Amino acid sequence: MRFAVLLVTALLAVPSLSAQRVVPAGGEWLIEPADHSGKVQLNIRYGEEGRHSSNWGRTIPVSDLEGLSAADMRGSGAAVHFKIVRAAGTLNCEGWFDGNSGSGHFTYEPNPGFVAELAKRGIGAPTEWEQFELTMAGIGLDFVDELQKQGYDRPTANELARMGTHGVDLEYVQDLGARGYHLRYAETLVRMRDHGVDSDFIESLDGAGYKNLSAEQLVRMRDHGVDPDFIASLKGAGYQNLGTEDLVRLRDHGVDGDYIADMKDAGYAPANPEELVESRDHGVDPTYIRSLKEAGYENLSLYQLRRARDHGVTRGFIQRVKARGYSSPTLEEVIRLRDRGLE
């Protein structure tokens, strides 16, 4: 009992991971051209001297680099000074550019006014580390106000920082809102963003006939690779108006348009696609069906094919059975012989 008390006391004495994070006074910056016109790739490196470092990177508009001109970026080693100003804080940068690529150092300056504005909105003060995360993610008061406008539960500073670090920004929330997704909870936004559910994916499913899906349905379809091409392949094979879970199940089990078309050519087009799921799971494919036909077994049901496959019945085995004097054994007789170990 005494040991348990000491252990609990020791655990309580250990600071949380977030409390251990040290806000950098500064660090290094690197800017390179991006694929998109009017944007650059910004990479920030920061950390505690001699211990560890962290890296943050994102494509940002050139307009975010206050005080840096196009001529400065095209320079050849000339010194530059500029700022990256966010609602939560500012990165004061200095360094040099050479041919649209640059590097240098920055100092970090938190904005106390941002904390005051959060308080006006009923949100407690962020920790120093959370405020730094909000600065890096570019989360501003317009984002907070948009969440309130769309009816989300009032987030904590920690939830704001978590959304920001996971790529949930103002544009993402507005895009979802424009499509009718007012999800109430910050964690739901994070989950959708983490799983790659964005307005383009939602629009693509709308076009495929799947509208007004729940957040969880969208996540599951995205995770399992159910996209418009897959849906179209099923429709082309005659399977329409399937539920989202049916689509996920078919995708998971490898029942796609090609498999369905091949099975249809082999004479199998069941009304219930679950029959195809079970057949796929049991290794019944056109090649196996053809091999049994060549051994004299035609017009078998999918159930019979699955049963034969499960018991290891092959064309070679059937040929050996016939060579033993069984001239025209039924499929069930072949299965029994296989089960009894006939080789």
> pLDDT tens across 117-127, in order?
999 999 999 99
> pLDDT tens across 72-96, in order?
998 888 899 999 999 999 999 999 9
CA distance 81 to 106: 10
Burial class (CB in 10 A: 0-12, 13-18, 19+), 242: middle
CB atoms within 10 A of CB 203: 13
The whole-number pLDDT of residue 53 equals 73
- Kindly tell me the sign of the dihedral angle through the C-alpha atoms of 250, 254, 260, 261: positive
Query: Low-confidence residues of the chain, pLDDT below 70?
Result: 1-20, 48-52
**Which two three-digit tokens encode residue 309?**
């496959």
CA distance 98 to 83: 18
The whole-number pLDDT of residue 15 equals 39
